[in-house]
Structure formats: structure tokens, C-alpha cells
Amino acid sequence: MTRCPSCGTQYPDDARFCTKDGTRLIGSTPPAGYQRSTAPHTRNDMAVPITHASLSGKTLEGRYEIVKKIGEGGMSFVYLANDVATREKYAIKVLSAALSQDVNAMARLRREASLGMRLAHPNVCHIIRLGETEDGLVYVVMPYVDGEILADRTNRLGRLTLQDVAGLLRDMAAGLHVAHELKIVHRDLKPENIMICRRHDGTDYAVVMDFGLAKERKAGAELQKLTATGIILGTPEFMSPEQLRGRPLDPRTDVYSLALMTYEMLTGKLPFSGRTQQEMMIARLRSDPVPLRDAMPGLGLEAVERVLQKAMQRDPGDRYQTAPEFATALAAATKADGEERSRLGRFFAR
């Protein structure tokens, strides 16, 4: 069971948000990630046929030495691997047999892989290569990213400081901007797809993960057919209104998702409520978000609230038009609100 850390209400394992107050639920089994698994390194008998779930101890195509399984989901297994020659670490996602035998899914994956290989950036976990073994195992090689998933940090801390949020948003926006310049829209931004890593100097930075639903902004008819519509591909809690309606997407849909994530990082809740997931989706189409100062009373975040309100506009034309524009506006608002609190503090101290 999962539970709401705010009101204590219990929910089934597949529930993600409290329908009473919108708080993210805790206590569920963590989703597959690159740093979460505690699975032991078990070396299988080399005579045993290689399967999707038994790669530990094997060497994939003579190049990638599989160390251990570090995550799994319904459609893939994720392994930590070392390059035999360079000893560099990689994360290798091995697709399930069902997915690798799906002609349409593989066509989409090959197209996405060709795009993902162009996304090399410090704030993006990009696809390095797509491979297939003689045995028919299809796999994706990515840089190994070690850190804490944003969803876990928010659950652990309840909410993040405004300064930390502004810094993480800057990093995410920088990585996304590279993708947007290449005419790629992520379209599945959510806290589970953001890794918070640590630099050598002890500071944190964000890495955008899993461009598995990414698509070219000006997609042709073939790609449109393969990717279907946003209502099918994506995570409902963080979808933009245009994505919920199945309309064409551009970078502004990622800006909207970033705004929802920013709001949740600051408050621990989403800005729209509903008794069911469907009601929460409808609220995004018809209602205004709960003002930030209502969710965080007494902190005087007027400037930050105005920035978030603009980023969460239902009409894409009324939002910030690029991710860096949104991040820059939030950084300026963070500074302005901090200076205002400092000024008021000095005034009342007199």
C-alpha cells in the first residue's frame, strides 16, 4: 500500500497522488531506476542461455561486461555495465521480448535512438547506441548516471528550498533547450525522470533522463503514426493541456511540465486537485492552479507565484516560450522575493 504523508490516507500500490490534497504518496515500491537496485551481483553459469533477466556476469557482444541488474520495469531491464576496454561505466537497458518483437515499437525506438545520439549534454542522459545481439536481445546504451531521483528527494524532504529549486530548474532547462534546438520534445517530464547528481565540489545538479517518448517537433506522417498522440504517451499528472487533448506539441509543453514539477518541488503537492486522476486531468483543462501562496502561506512569494502562473497558462502562447526563459524568470523572482523578505525583516526589526 501507499499512503499520503500529509493526511495518512492509504491507497493501492498503483496510486501516486492523494485525491484529497494532491500530495505525492510514499511507501510504494520504487520504479526502476539507475541507482536504486540492491540486487546482488550473481554470476550465472555460462552454459545457461542468456535471457533478459539473467545478464549479470555476462559480456554483451564482447564489449559490455554486465556487473549487475539495477532496475526493471514492465518492458525492460536496466543493468550496470563496464566497457571491457576502457572500464567506463554504462547503463544498459535491455528491452523485453514482447517489446523487441513489436515492429511499430522498434521503428519508433530506432527513430528516437537516432535523435537521442545527438543529445550529448551534461544535463541530459542521452542514448549512445542501439544494439541487437545474435540472440535477438535489443538494448540501449546510455551513460551511467549515479544520484538520487527527484521524486525520491521530494518524498524524503517534503519540499525543497527555493534556491535549490531554482538551481535544478536552470539545469533541467539547459538540457531541454539542447533537445528543443534539435526539434526534440521530451513530452514525459516528471520527477521520476530527473536525477540529482553530485559534483566534485559537493554541489548538486540535475540530469534529464529517459527521452524514450521524445519526438521531432516537426514529425512526418510516419512518425506521427508511430508515436500516436500525447494522450497515449506520457504521464497524466504532468501532461500539458494540449497534450491531454492530443494536439501537436512543441517545447512549450515541456515548459508546462517543468512548471508543475517546480510547484511540486516547492510545496510537495500538485497545483490541481481531484478525487480521481481523471478529475485532476480535467482540472488542468478547465480550472486555474492553486496559487503558490495558498499552498505556502506566510512566505511572501509574490514574484515566484507570478512566474509559475505564467508558466502554467493553458494556452501555450501565454507561457514562457523556452525553458531557459522560464528558468531565468524564476531565478530573478527568487532573488526579488528574497530581497523583499530581507527588507521587511529589517523594517519590522526597527
Instruction: For 48-79, write each residue's pLDDT tens digit.
Output: 344 566 788 888 888 999 999 888 766 788 89
Q: How far is CA 279 from the centre of its chain?
A: 23
Residue partners of 208: CB distance under 8 A and separation at least 6: 123, 124, 125, 172, 175, 176, 179, 186, 189, 193, 194
Q: Is the pLDDT of residue 333 over 80?
A: yes
Contact 179, 187 (CB under 8 A): no
Domains of the chain: 1-30 (no CATH), 59-143 (3.30.200.20), 148-344 (1.10.510.10)
Report the DSSP pairing between strands 64-72 and 2-3: unpaired
The yes-or-no answer on residue 188 being catalytic is yes
Q: Is the pLDDT of residue 5 over 90?
A: no
CA–CA separation, 161 vs 155, rounded Å?
Answer: 14
Q: Is the pLDDT of residue 215 over 70?
A: no
Residue spans of alpha helices (H) in 206-322: 221-227, 241-244, 251-267, 277-286, 292-295, 302-311
Stated as kind and residue range, the H or E segment containing 197 is: strand 194-198
CA–CA separation, 60 vs 142, rounded Å?
Answer: 14
| Percentage of residues in the chain having pLDDT higher than 70 | 76
Q: Is the pLDDT of residue 320 over 90?
A: yes
Identity of the residue numbered 116:
G
Cell of 169: 530548474
Contact 92, 140 (CB under 8 A): yes
Residue 189: its pLDDT value, please?
Answer: 92
Q: Is the pLDDT of residue 225 over 80?
A: no
CA–CA separation, 6 vs 21, rounded Å?
Answer: 8
Stated as kind and residue range, the H or E segment containing 175 is: helix 162-181
Residue 279: its pLDDT value, please?
Answer: 85
Distances (CA, A) of 66 to 92, 226, 260, 275, 319: 9, 31, 37, 44, 45
Q: Is the pLDDT of residue 234 over 80?
A: no
Residue 180: its pLDDT value, please?
Answer: 94
Q: Is the pLDDT of residue 272 over 50?
A: yes
Residue 222: its pLDDT value, please?
Answer: 35
pLDDT in tens, 93-127: 888 887 888 888 788 778 777 877 888 899 999 88
| Sheet-wide strand order for 89-95 | 59-60, 64-72, 76-83, 89-95, 138-143, 129-132
CA–CA separation, 315 vs 141, rounded Å?
Answer: 37
Helix (H, G, I), strand (E, B) or coil at 37: coil
**What is the pTM for the complete model shown?**
0.76
Catalytic site residue from 45, 83, 171, 188: 188
